[in-house]
Amino acid sequence: MRTFVVVTFSSEGGSASQVVNRLMDMGFETTLGSHDFVYHWGKDATPESVIALVDKVQSKLKGMNVLLQFATTQ
């Protein structure tokens, strides 16, 4: 399973490199195309584990003034 993230930046927020570094520290990889980042699950994700991951991302990026969109697929 994979969780994809699309990030929308604000000129009033953190730099793109700061956001990338924080997400990569959490295990995300950069990707090209419709999504900016992907997280590869080592096992099947549950709704609860995806929500926990989203909570962690929100906490890690707090104050960065970015908008996030998540999608999880098999």
Rounded to 5 degrees, what are φ and ψ at 57? -65, -45
How many C-beta neighbours within 10 Å does residue 63 have?
Answer: 7
Query: Is 3.30.70 the CATH number for 2-73?
Result: yes
Q: Where are the domains of the chain?
A: 2-73
**Cα(46)–Cα(26) distance, rounded to whole angstroms?**
18
Q: What is the pTM of this model?
A: 0.92
For residue 74, what pLDDT is reported? 86
Evaluate if residue 68 carries a pLDDT over 90: yes
Identify the band that residue 13 occupies on the pLDDT scale cut at 50, 70 and 90: very high
For residue 73, what pLDDT is reported? 93
Query: What are the tens digits of pLDDT across the range 15-66?
Result: 999 999 999 999 999 999 999 999 999 988 899 999 999 999 999 999 999 9
